[in-house]
Amino acid sequence: MPINSSSVSTKEQAVLVTDDYRPNQQQVAQLLGQLNQVVLDKPQVVKLALSCVLAGGHLLLQDLPGMGKTTLAQGLAQLLGLTFNRVQFTNDMLPADILGMSIYNQATLDFEFRRGPIFTQLLLADEINRSSPKTQSALLEAMEERQVTQDGQTYRLPQPFFVIATQNPLQQAGVYPLPESQLDRFLMCLSLGYPSPAAERALLQGQDRRELLATLKALFNTDAVSLAQQGVQQVYVADVVLDYLQRLVAKTRVSQEYHGLSPRGVLSLQRAAQAHAYASGHNEVSPEDIQAVFAAVTDHRLGQRFVSPNALSGQAPQTIAQRILADVAVII
């Protein structure tokens, strides 16, 4: 797909997407289509979840139990062709249950490190907020540095490495709130919400989701995912689009109710917008890409906690990010 030179303000400044990194729109569309057959009636959430992975970020799925969070994570892992481990978090889980531990080997008369389930390419941390803060913090180094340190020894994690975590609303029993430092490690936070009546009828009459997941064939592999991540970095962001992004960021920093986005949050917003453009088959970021990812990237960083939809109207209250988007003009 050629780049329209008229859309680039200064040709010499444009970071052009080469043929090697150009998105295969047919392949991406096929992946999204198959994932949408498993997770019904949530095309935007599915696209954002894929964008999060293509951006090299970690994903937090926040919703009521039974809404399809685990199904989405498993579907992504299978279609992307990544090695996959699932850990069910509980309140008695210890950090060693995730990271691994050193065990004495009588044959060699020495300790050897037995790797935990975190040594995989995609880790599903199911109901992460049911574990204690000590266990939750065990993931911080792995999520940021892609490595694990045990007994003074550092072990690199497989590449690429992603964490997809699910958590239940804080109003439910037996959960611990994730600290701000951990929330900031997640590039995006998404909620699936209730399905439409038509999608719910399809669930009732259709194939079991577990059986459907078992039929999925990998459309990507490790090399393809890595190549796509490089392609995301090549997506061009014009100065006028960066101006709009910075105005949104500045708006987050003037409130007395919450702390504004940190520099890491700003970089995450840009990378997520690039990934959304890439998944859409575009070579440069538009304001619409920023608007599409803004709430998913910022709300959990600004202290927006899970809010259950209104039981009568079915509509959730306006989030912090939605209010900011409404207040800041695009001006392109």
Query: What is d(CA 317, CA 295) in angstroms, rounded to the nearest whole number?
Result: 13
**pLDDT above 90 for 120:** yes
Close Cβ partners of 315 (under 8 Å, ≥ 6 residues apart): 309
Provide the pLDDT confidence category of residue 68 given band limits of 50, 70 and 90: confident
Give pLDDT, residue 67.
86
Give pLDDT, residue 122.
94
**pLDDT above 70 for 38:** yes
Query: CB atoms < 10 A from the CB of 268, how many?
Result: 24
Using CB atoms within 10 A of its CB, is residue 109 exposed (0-12), middle (13-18) or buried (19+)?
exposed
In 27-68, at which residue ranges do the beta strands (DSSP E only) sit?
58-62
Query: What is d(CA 284, CA 232) in angstroms, rounded to the nearest whole number?
Result: 10
In angstroms, what CA-CA distances link 125 with 59, 79, 117? 10, 19, 10
Round the average pLDDT of the chain to a whole number and report it.
Answer: 82
**pLDDT above 60 for 119:** yes
Mean pLDDT of 279-285: 91
Mean pLDDT of 211-236: 88
Domains of the chain by start residue, with CATH: 8-327 (3.40.50.300)
Provide the pLDDT confidence category of residue 172 given band limits of 50, 70 and 90: low
Q: Is 297 left (phi over 0), alpha (psi -120 to 50) or beta?
A: alpha
The predicted-structure confidence for 130-153, as pLDDT tens digits, reads as follows 888 888 888 888 888 999 888 778
Give pLDDT, residue 82.
92
Query: What is d(CA 298, CA 252) in angstroms, rounded to the nearest whole number?
Result: 9
Give pLDDT, residue 311.
36
Query: What is d(CA 122, CA 108) in angstroms, rounded to the nearest whole number?
Result: 32
In angstroms, what CA-CA distances link 103 with 94, 98, 109, 149, 152? 16, 15, 11, 15, 15
% of residues, the chain, pLDDT over 90: 32
SS3 235: coil
Alpha helices, DSSP H, located in 153-238: 180-183, 197-205, 209-214, 222-234
